[in-house]
Structures are given as C-alpha cells and as structure tokens.
Amino acid sequence: MGFLSSLFGKKKENIRSIQHPEQLKKGDVVVFSDSFALPEIIRKQSFQIKSVNTYQFEHSTIVEFVLLGHSTTQVYLSVERDDEEYLNISIKISREQVAQLFDMENFADIFDEQSQTELSLNSEQSDFNNWLSPVYFQQVFAQRGYYYSKDFRPAKPSIDDDGDGEPLDYFCLTSADEMHSVEVEVWQDGDTDVLLTIHRPIEEIADMYPGANDGEIG
C-alpha cells in the first residue's frame, strides 16, 4: 500500500506559466510568429533568453531580453508601452554596415544638437530585409541613461543612484509610420552601438515556454 501511495500519490510538479513577454526570464524560450513582416532570422524561429538586462532613464525603465538562436546575429527584445503595448526587436550593426546603409555625413548630423536629422537610406540591403525604412526622423537627442547587466524585477534601479550602472547617451530616429527605428547608444568611453529596431504587435510572439526544470516561482 505504501508503494502504491508513493507511486500514484506523488504531487505533479507545478510548471510556471508565462502569459506575457514581460514575465520572461533567463532560460525561457520565445517563439515568433510566421508573419512576413518579420525579418527572416526571426520569423517562425525559437530563441532562448540568454540574459536579462536593464536600461534606466529618467522617466522609464526598459527590460532587455538577449535572445540566443540558431543565427550568429544577436537579437534583442523589449516591451514598450505608449498608447498601446508593442515589441521592440533589435539587432546591432557594425560601422561598416552603417556606412553601407547611410551617408556618413548625414548620419553624423544625429549628434548635432542644432540639427533635427532626417536620415535617408542609401540603398536597400538584402541582408536587412524588413529591418529598414527609407527615411527616419530624429525623435530623441542625447538622453542620459544607465545600463545594468542585471534583472531588477520586480524592483528597478534608482535614477538618483547609478550604482553599478554604465552611463550612456541615447539617440533615436523613427520612421513616419513608427514601425522602424535607428537607435544609437554612445558610451562614456566613446564606443558607439547602432541598432536597427522594428516595432511589432505583442501578437508576433506565437508562444513562450519556461526554461527546463523550471518550477513555479509564485
């Protein structure tokens, strides 16, 4: 009887349920939809959350999910709320790729406070299908923020105490339809990261799974 009790009476392990992308954590898996609006390296692809980082600005905190997939291209995901919720999906591009896509004198205008930059694409590149818009308009100039290679949830870092945060200045240009952006992060040592970002509905995530051996957290 004791054997049968142990066999049939064993409690089923509670598996964490992920109902929203903001609930993702390191080790979880996210699957994108088959929408043709998505770039090929993302469409119908599964990614594991490699790490979770935090950007802190004066009026906002952004949780960044670093995605690990089959491609060698690093993909970044965040959720943003404006009038509605949407996904920001980004890739970083090199200086050489920036020079291929944009006129560098035009691109340099981004860092001129007196210039409301209108950034035009030199030419379409097949490697960046669905990542690009023909024209971008500057929305953000040198917004000071701090980057943390840490997940603070459910709390957030204090803007009054940068602590271990790495300071950066943030620039952003967005297309007229608000579906594409070019984001630029200038770090204190002068290093500059340029990202191509697409803004897509939450529904572009087709499924989400908890990481292996992940019990319920509460």
The total domain count for the chain is 1
For residue 216, being part of any structural domain is answered with no
In one-letter notation, the amino acid at residue 90 is: S
The residue with tokens 């051996």 is 213
Question: Is residue 218 over pLDDT 50?
Answer: no
For residue 176, being part of any structural domain is answered with yes
- Ranking 8-12, 16-20, 74-78 by mean pLDDT, the lowest is 8-12
Q: Which two structure tokens, joined as six digits, stand for 173? A: 């240009």
Q: For 74-126, how does the pLDDT look when each residue is reduced to its tens digit (9 = 90+)?
A: 999 999 988 889 999 999 999 999 999 999 999 999 999 888 899 999 977 77
pTM: 0.88
Contact yes or no for 53/149 (Cβ under 8 A): yes
Average pLDDT over residues 128-133: 94
pLDDT, residue 13, reads 59
Residue 159 — φ and ψ, nearest 5°? -70, -20
Q: Which domain holds residue 160?
A: 16-209
Confidence of residue 213 (pLDDT cuts 50, 70, 90): low
The residue with tokens 């790729």 is 97
Q: For 158-204, how does the pLDDT look when each residue is reduced to its tens digit (9 = 90+)?
A: 766 556 899 999 999 999 999 999 999 999 999 999 999 999 999 99
Average pLDDT over residues 59-81: 94
Contact yes or no for 158/57 (Cβ under 8 A): no
For residue 11, being part of any structural domain is answered with no
For residue 39, being part of any structural domain is answered with yes
For residue 87, being part of any structural domain is answered with yes
For residue 167, being part of any structural domain is answered with yes
- In Å, what is the CA distance from 39 to each residue of 9, 48, 89, 156? 48, 18, 10, 32
For residue 38, being part of any structural domain is answered with yes
DSSP E strands in the chain: the ranges are 29-32, 46-57, 61-68, 75-81, 85-93, 118-120, 135-148, 166-174, 180-187, 192-200, 205-209
Average pLDDT over residues 19-34: 96
Angle at 138 between CA 83 and CA 62, to 5 degrees: 50
Confidence of residue 42 (pLDDT cuts 50, 70, 90): very high
For residue 83, being part of any structural domain is answered with yes
Q: For 133-158, how does the pLDDT look when each residue is reduced to its tens digit (9 = 90+)?
A: 999 999 999 999 999 999 999 988 87
